[in-house]
C-alpha cells in the first residue's frame, strides 16, 4: 500500500484555495478578521469538497474562518469564508506530522476525490491544470490510487480508492480530521 502523505494533500488543498482566490479576484469579498484587519476571503460556497478541505486547513492552522459581520450566525454552521494564514512556501515546509494517521489520510483522500470530481471534466482523469506543480511528485507518484500515464495524464483508480480508502471510511465510527493526540 502506497499513500501520499497527509501533508502533501494539505498542500494541494491550500494551493486550491489560492488558485480560487486568484481566479475570483474581481468578485471576492473583503471581510474583517478577528482583529479588524480586512482580508480577501475565500468563499467555499458550501460545496463539500471546499467546505471539507477548508475545515482541514483550519484544523492544521493553514487558514482561519472569517465570521460574518453584522449577521446572526447559526452556531451549528461554520462561516463559508476563510483566509490563508500561511503561504504555499510555509505550507510546503510546515510540520504536519501530528496529523499523519491513516484515518486522516482517508478523510483527506475522500475530500480530494470530491475535489477531483468537481474540477475534472473527464471521468477518472485528474485535471492537472488545476493541481499544484508538485502534485505529480508528492501525491500521484506516491499513492497507488493514481496511475500516471505520462506527465500530462494522471488517472484516478476508483477500484483502488474503493478498496483502500472507502473500506476504512465505512468502518470509521467518527469521520473527523484531527491531531493524533486527540484520537
User: What does the pLDDT look like over 30-46, one tens digit per residue?
Assistant: 999 989 999 999 999 88
pLDDT at 168: 93
pLDDT at 72: 62
Q: Which of 149, 183, 130 minimizes the C-alpha distance to 19?
A: 130
Q: Which of 164, 143, 165, 163 minimizes the C-alpha distance to 154?
A: 143
d(Cα 64, Cα 162) in Å, to the nearest integer?
Answer: 32
**Confidence label for 88 from pLDDT (cuts 50, 70 and 90):** very high
pLDDT exceeds cutoff 70 at 79? yes
**124, exposed or middle or buried, with CB in 10 Å at 0-12, 13-18, 19+?**
middle
Q: What is the dihedral of CA 16, 37, 33, 100, to 10 degrees?
A: 50
**What are 65-71's contacts with CB under 8 Å, separation 24+?**
66/31, 66/32, 66/33, 66/39, 66/41, 67/34, 68/31, 69/31, 69/32
Percent of the chain with pLDDT over 90: 73
Q: What is the pLDDT of residues 44-60, one digit of tens each?
A: 988 888 999 999 999 99
Who wins on pLDDT, 152 or 74?
Answer: 152
3-state helix, strand, coil in the chain (%, to 5): 45, 15, 40
Q: Grid cell 474583517 — which residue?
A: 32
pTM for this one? Answer: 0.92
pLDDT exceeds cutoff 80 at 64? yes
Average pLDDT of the chain is 91
The answer to whether residues 22 and 130 touch, using CB atoms and an 8 Å cutoff, is no
Amino acid at each position: 500500500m502506497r499513500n501520499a502523505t497527509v501533508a502533501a494533500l494539505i498542500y494541494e488543498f491550500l494551493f486550491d484555495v489560492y488558485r480560487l482566490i486568484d481566479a475570483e479576484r474581481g468578485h471576492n469579498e473583503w471581510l474583517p478578521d478577528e482583529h479588524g484587519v480586512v482580508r480577501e476571503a475565500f468563499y467555499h460556497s458550501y460545496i463539500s469538497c471546499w467546505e471539507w478541505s477548508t475545515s482541514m486547513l483550519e484544523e492544521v492552522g493553514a487558514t482561519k474562518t472569517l465570521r460574518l459581520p453584522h449577521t446572526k450566525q447559526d452556531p451549528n454552521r461554520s462561516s463559508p469564508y476563510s483566509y490563508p494564514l500561511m503561504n504555499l512556501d510555509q505550507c510546503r515546509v510546515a510540520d504536519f506530522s501530528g496529523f499523519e494517521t491513516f484515518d486522516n489520510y482517508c478523510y483527506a483522500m475522500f475530500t480530494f476525490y470530491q475535489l477531483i470530481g468537481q474540477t475534472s471534466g473527464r471521468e477518472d482523469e485528474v485535471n492537472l491544470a488545476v493541481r499544484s506543480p508538485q502534485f505529480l511528485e508528492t501525491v500521484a507518484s506516491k499513492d497507488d490510487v493514481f496511475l500516471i500515464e505520462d506527465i500530462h495524464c494522471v488517472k484516478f483508480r476508483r477500484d483502488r480508492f474503493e478498496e483502500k480508502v472507502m473500506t476504512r471510511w465505512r468502518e470509521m465510527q467518527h469521520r473527523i480530521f484531527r491531531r493524533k493526540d486527540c484520537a
